[in-house]
Amino acid sequence: MTTSGSPGSTGPVTSADSPAPAATVAPEPAATSPAADATSAEPLLSASGLHVTFPGRHGAAPARAVDGVDLDIKPGEIVALVGESGCGKTTLARSLLGLVPPTSGRITFGGRPLDYSARGLKKYRKRVQLVLQDPSGSLNPRHTVYDAVAEGLRIHGYPGDERAAVADALARAGLRPPERFFLRYPHELSGGQRQRVVIAGALVLDPELIVADEPVASLDASVRGEILALLLRLRTELGLAALVVTHDLGLAWNIADRVAVMYLGRIVETGDVEQILTAPRHPYTQALLSVLPEAGGDEIVLTGEPPDPSRVPRGCRFHARCQVLAGGEAERVGVADACRTRDLPVLDGGGASQVACHWAEALGASAR
């Protein structure tokens, strides 16, 4: 299995003066996307004050996997949710899909609170589809491509022409001519083709939003770019919004309009992809970016324990690992005590650029 990708492996869609490599394979710049018109639109999906806490086993403290998240996704917008493994991305994504009920907070879709009844969730899952990270795991090896894609139609009692709908979804996912794939089995396909079948299975229900959890993590670098280009094309052609969950900031670069950086259950920085990737303000975002091959500067190696959601520290939740605090820069602007003791507010879920960091706030204030 291939591990993380990079902007270099798939090609950036950012402008030429960003610190990304010159090769560009993605189909078009974000500036011409429908999301550009969506900046003032009402959010399609919105989470506010979301908490998901798992009970601790054998007397252990509960795990605050999602610990106060506000997040809006507008029609046609592609938001990348990034952060290290274990920071709560999958739990947040599953909660947005109604698969994990929030411990507190709420989720609305199209302005209405999610209906957690079996019927309500079935209806919801037609409009918001999940694309999983491992296409071989999410396809039944004994089902043909046709049956895999038709499954959703059957669950939802699709009244139209099933064969035409399956063919259309496969074609939209780039499997052409679709009929050639109908009777194939997953093991007869390449990894990229299997991921396209999974995407076709999501598209067949005409969703308004897809949630893709690490959609290309298990693919070779050569096909990763194709799948990302497909997701971008679906947004352009169908106005599909997407939440793309990834541990890889390089991937976000290739696809997202907006990035939300998650650390230990919270979003710690969010904003336009260009701004986050060229001028990150949160020390954690800066550290994540520093390890990309294109970053150029010194790699920032994070010290300290990996985050544990059953032991969220007081003050800034990143303080035990923060290079800015450890290096004395927080002290120099007079916020070191605040870093250790003063919690930071939950960031607003909308598109504005925001950061949850005492030091970045202090620098911003002195620059104003």
Ligand X SMILES: Nc1ncnc2c1ncn2[C@@H]1O[C@H](COP(=O)(O)OP(=O)(O)O)[C@@H](O)[C@H]1O
What are the residues binding ligand SF4 (CB under 6 A)?
Answer: 282-283, 316, 318-319, 322, 324-325, 330, 339, 357-359
Rg (CA), the chain: 21
Give the shortest CB-290-to-Mg ion separation in angstroms.
22
Site for ligand X in 42-61 (CB under 6 A): 54
Identify the residue among 20, 26, 65, 252 touching ligand X (CB under 6 A). Answer: 65
Q: With CB under 5 A as the contact rule, which of the stretches 90-98, 178-186, 204-212, 307-315 interacts with Mg ion?
A: 90-98
Which of the stretches 47-55, 89-97, 106-114, 156-164 binds Mg ion when contact is defined by CB under 5 A? 89-97
Contact 263, 83 (CB under 8 A): yes
Rounded CA-CA distance 93/230 in Å is 21
Q: Is 95 in the site for Mg ion (CB under 5 A)?
A: no
Q: Alpha-carbon distance 330 to 324, whole Å? A: 6
Nearer to ligand SF4, 110 or 304 (CB): 304
By CB under 6 A, what part of segment 294-323 binds ligand X? Answer: 309
Cis status of the peptide bond prior to 177, with omega within 30 of 0: yes
DSSP single-letter state for residue 41: S
Q: With binding defined as CB under 5 A, does residue 129 bind Mg ion?
A: no
C-beta atoms surrounding 237 within 10 Å = 10
Q: Does 90 bind Mg ion (CB under 5 A)?
A: yes
- Segment interacting with ligand X, rule: CB under 6 A, options 11-19, 72-80, 84-92, 296-304: 84-92
Residues 195, 174: Cα–Cα separation, whole Å: 11
Rounded to whole angstroms, the Cα distance separating 252 from 216 reads 11
Question: How many CB atoms within 10 Å of residue 228?
Answer: 26
The one of Mg ion, ligand X, ligand SF4, none whose footprint includes residue 63, by CB under 5 to 8 A per kind, is: ligand X
User: In angstroms, what is the minimal distance from the CB of 322 to ligand SF4?
Assistant: 3
C-alpha span between 61 and 342 (Å, rounded): 22
Q: How far is the CB of 247 from Mg ion (least distance, A)?
A: 8
The CB-side HSE value for 54 (13 A sphere, CA atoms) comes to 17
Q: Which is nearer to ligand X, 6 or 90 (CB)?
A: 90
Distance CA 148, CA 146 (A): 5
**Interaction of residue 201 with ligand X, rule CB under 6 A:** no
For the chain, report the end-to-end CA distance as a whole number of angstroms.
47
Instruction: Tell me whether residue 172 or residue 266 sits nearer to Mg ion (CB atom).
Output: 266
Angle between helices 162-172 and 191-203 (to 10 degrees): 130
Both structure tokens of 152: 């959703």
Which range of residues in 78-86, 137-145, 340-348, 356-364 is near ligand X by CB under 6 A? 78-86
Residue 58 CB, nearest distance to ligand X (Å)?
A: 12
Of the residues 50, 80, 82, 87, which one makes contact with ligand X according to CB under 6 A: 87
**SS3 state of residue 142:** coil
Residues that bind Mg ion (CB under 5 A): 90
Residues that bind ligand X (CB under 6 A): 54, 63, 65, 83, 85-91, 309
